[in-house]
Amino acid sequence: VQLVQSGAEVKKPGASVKVSCMTSGYTFTNYFIYWVRQAPGQGLEYMGIINPSGGGTSYAQKFQGRVTMTRDMSTTTVYMELSSLRHEDTAVFYCARDSDSGSWLGYWGQGTLVTVSS
């Protein structure tokens, strides 16, 4: 199982960023993909999930209205787009997958640093 994320981004306040998570090594439609944010020096924060099978999503209340998670079945890639960026959105964003045998996060991408700077 591999989750490979896109590279670091620098964005201006008010812009949007789209981070990709390319998956391989398993059946894409069998497992949810999660997104987790980690601000500098801070803890892990759950953002939401996408079900690659039907594309259904569920977002944490904090990010409702600003986050959109999508998937591309042809490339087994999941995307997380965050809009209306503010300085405090500067963070590392991780995608992660359920374990093979349960709902804990067993596999993680390497993380993508998004810097919001004017």
Partner 1 sequence: EMVMTQSPVTLSVSPGERATLSCRTSQSVSGNLAWYQQKPGQAPRLLIYGASTRAAGIPARFSGSGSGTDFTLTISSLQSEDFAVYYCLQYHSWPRTFGQGTKLDIK
Which positions lie near partner 1, rule CB under 8 A? 34, 36, 43-46, 48, 58, 60-61, 94, 99, 102-106, 108-111
Identify any residues that bridge with 58 across adjacent strands, giving them in sequence order: 49
Identify any residues that bridge with 80 across adjacent strands, giving them in sequence order: 19, 69
* Cβ 108 to partner 1 shortest distance, Å: 4
* Cβ 8 to partner 1 shortest distance, Å: 12
What's the rounded Cα separation, in Å, for the pair 67 and 26?
Answer: 26
* Cβ 12 to partner 1 shortest distance, Å: 25
Q: Which is nearer to partner 1, 43 or 54 (CB)?
A: 43
What's the rounded Cα separation, in Å, for the pair 114 and 55?
Answer: 24
What's the rounded Cα separation, in Å, for the pair 34 and 49?
Answer: 4
* Cβ 59 to partner 1 shortest distance, Å: 9
Written as six digits, the tokens of 55 are 């594309």
Q: Which is nearer to partner 1, 101 or 118 (CB)?
A: 101
Q: Which is nearer to partner 1, 40 or 118 (CB)?
A: 40
Q: Which is nearer to partner 1, 22 or 105 (CB)?
A: 105
Q: Would you state the torsion angle of the CA atoms of residues 47, 23, 7, 15, taken in this order, to the nearest 10 degrees?
A: -40
